[in-house]
Amino acid sequence: MATSSSLFHPIEKELYSVEHNLKSVAGTRHPILYAAAKHLFEAGGKRLRPAIVLLVAKSTSEQQEIKPGQRRLAEITEIIHTASLVHDDVIDECSTRRGEKTVHKLFNTKIAVLAGDFLFAQSSWYLANIGNLEVVKVITKVITDFAEGEIRQGLVHFDPSISIDDYIEKSFYKTASLVAASCRGAAMLNDLNSQMHNDLYLYGKHMGLAFQIMDDVLDIAGSTKSLGKPSGADFMNGNLTAPILFALTQEGKLDQLIQREFSDERDISLALFLIKKSGGITKAKDLAKEQVQAALCCLQFLPKSAPVSSLKELTHFIITRLS
């Protein structure tokens, strides 16, 4: 089975450059903000989002070249993603991320909020310097989407009446919007026609949704070691995801556990058992596979090349990474 690192081969040098530049993004003159931002980027991560941007850039270039603006867009995408994680961790009161202490645990909540704000501001400054107003419009919309996604999620904590459609919509705002906008932005910087922009936007949307659904599966089926944070953390906080929503249609007892917000010490282990027993995980994986197929359909217009092959394999990897 391919690994994510082997799929990055066509953009290996560019991704290394992005990684190096991300660590210098923290170049603020304030030592606390510098330390917080440096801690975030040195914690690592999959760097999936910048890799997708770089692969889209190469896949849509006749010369298979990546322009400086596209390389910068890949960095901006990861900065925005990281900023959103900082704020997420504060809201969800997470203590670890990627196996490291979260910023608000390492410093405090005020510093974490300011560090997230700083990264959002830094991304906006870099974005403005790309010099393409249409790309600026596309990417900045993502930041408002994040806020809307958080509000939507906050309003339905421990609410078993939410639908799969509600879940998909919230997941778009919180995760897929950034991937979709970044793919469109990379295409726009290659002067493609509007239909191609739309196809790549939809590719990113479906790819982002598949990734989020599989993350939610991993939250229940994965281990604390593999996740870099406690397993089951999301649904313990009342975030009802695809595996839980599918399980609710089969297991009435699960509804009762959610209604009482897992108040009994045995509720979490019982909920995990019911989710697995009901087939909720399998149904969630099937939903992710549907999103992967929809994403791949959006790439049909691209001619065969090594970057396109990597993009397609990376899309399949979203599903197989749990195997």
pLDDT of residue 260: 94
64, amino acid identity: Q
pLDDT of residue 154: 85
Q: Assess contact for 138 and 188: CB atoms under 8 A.
A: yes
Q: Which residues of the chain have pLDDT under 50?
A: 1, 323
Q: Which residues are annotated as a binding site for isopentenyl diphosphate?
A: 46, 49, 81, 98
Q: For the chain, which residues make up each domain, given as ranges?
A: 4-320
Q: Assess contact for 221 and 322: CB atoms under 8 A.
A: yes
Fold of the domain built from segment(s) 4-320: Farnesyl Diphosphate Synthase (1.10.600)
- The secondary structure of residue 11, as a DSSP letter, is G
pLDDT of residue 322: 54
Q: Which residues are annotated as a binding site for Mg(2+)?
A: 88, 92
Q: Which residues are annotated as a binding site for an all-trans-polyprenyl diphosphate?
A: 97, 174-175, 212
What are the DSSP calls for 13-64, one per residue?
Answer: HHHHHHHHHHHHTT--SSHHHHHHHHHHHHT----HHHHHHHHHHHHT-TT-
pLDDT of residue 76: 96
pLDDT of residue 230: 62
What value, to the nearest 5°, has the Cα angle with vertex 283 and ends 278 and 285? 130
pLDDT of residue 3: 54
Q: Assess contact for 311 and 56: CB atoms under 8 A.
A: yes
Task: Please measure the distance between the N-terminal and C-terminal CA atoms of the chain and give it in whole angstroms.
Answer: 9
pLDDT of residue 1: 44
H or E element in which residue 101 lies: strand 100-101
Q: Which residues are annotated as a binding site?
A: 46, 49, 81, 88, 92, 97-98, 174-175, 212
